[in-house]
Amino acid sequence: MPNVRTILAKTLLAGAFLAVATMAQAQCRSFAKNKCVPELAPYKFNETFNAAQLAPGEEAEVNLTFYSGQEYRVMVCTHPILGEVNWKLVDENNKIIFESLADEPKHHFDLKAASTVPVKVVVWVPNKSGTTMVHVGCVAIMVGFKE
């Protein structure tokens, strides 16, 4: 039977990991609200927050729906510690609609949906050669629309 100290230590450790993850998500949300939302102008932020803490070599994706006749701006906003990231929009058949690579960065893409379509945004952080330190930073995928 495990002793009370072991159980208490494991509980405290799990709580600490949960607190750190919650703080990181809150910092990411604050970063996106303060830095990224203003950059959507003249498009209005749709209030959907999609973000992740990523390190070099990691990838994230988000599924979105664009509605017929609506004009959108999709923006990938990253913490400066990560440098430029790669991202693309792909349709339901995995056909690339738009792609931004770190060596030719573009932080947003504007489109007008001809019909209602599901779209996937894929973001990946390139590995930086020659560096031994791994940096983790916030990557936010923001969507704005014209009223």
Tens place of pLDDT per residue across the chain (147 aa): 566 666 655 554 444 433 344 444 567 888 888 888 998 999 999 988 898 899 999 999 999 999 999 999 999 999 888 888 999 999 999 999 999 987 788 999 999 999 999 999 999 999 876 666 778 899 999 999 998
> Distance between CA atoms of 100 and 88, rounded to whole angstroms?
6
For 20-89, the DSSP string reads HHHHHHHHHHHHIIIIIGGGGTTSEE-S--EEEEE-TT-EEEEEEEE-TT-EEEEEEEE-GGG---EEEE
- Report the pLDDT value the prediction gives residue 133, as an integer from 0 to 100: 73
Place of tokens 């509605």: 67
Specify the pTM.
0.77
- Report the pLDDT value the prediction gives residue 91, as an integer from 0 to 100: 94
Domain boundaries, the chain: 5-145
The arrangement of secondary structure in 5-145, i.e. its CATH architecture, is Sandwich (2.60)
- Report the pLDDT value the prediction gives residue 99, as an integer from 0 to 100: 95
- Report the pLDDT value the prediction gives residue 119, as an integer from 0 to 100: 96
- Report the pLDDT value the prediction gives residue 16, as an integer from 0 to 100: 41
